[in-house]
Structure 1
Amino acid sequence: MPHPLNDSVIESTIFVAVVPRGLEWDEITNAKFIFLLAIKSNEVEELQNVYDTLLDFITSNDKQESLIKNSNYNNLLNIFTQN
């Protein structure tokens, strides 16, 4: 999860790639979800909320399966804004 944390970021952005069949990340890992973060330096405090939401997602097989089955923007928002 590369993420620049300096003044080079103009607007905070999260890029999400969903790869249902997986992407060989290394010899052990087959990644199905890739998150790239670019967070403005003055918004770093909000980063903890992003990490908490990502942790909830990566520990929930149901949420992961839901995103794989329906990998569109609206479903992604729904999954990541559920409590």
Structure 2
Amino acid sequence: MSYPLEADSDLEDDAGFHEDGFLVGGSDDYTDEYEDVDFEAMGVDPAEPTKAKPGSEEKVLMLAARYAAGMPLWHNDDCTDHGPARDRRIDA
């Protein structure tokens, strides 16, 4: 059994779009919406494990660097301690 395909008249057609998905007459230049970050200048090497705790600003920065480099987001030797930061001083 077959059914005829009918376009939903409430939906817009793709006549107003380029093949790349941008609107005809719309802004195709979205470079102003994104900021390039020089991770190397910030001392972030996406290939190295990080001691930054999950959810910390440093960990998020590392994830962004790995994503930008096209690498896996997680490193097997990354910090996995989810607990609060501890005072590492030794009192004598």
TM-score range, shorter chain: under 0.3
State which structure, 1 or 2, has the greater radius of gyration over its C-alpha atoms: 2
TM-score calculated relative to the size of structure 1? 0.28
Determine which structure has the larger helix proportion and give its number.
1
Determine which structure has the larger strand proportion and give its number.
1
TM-score calculated relative to the size of structure 2? 0.26
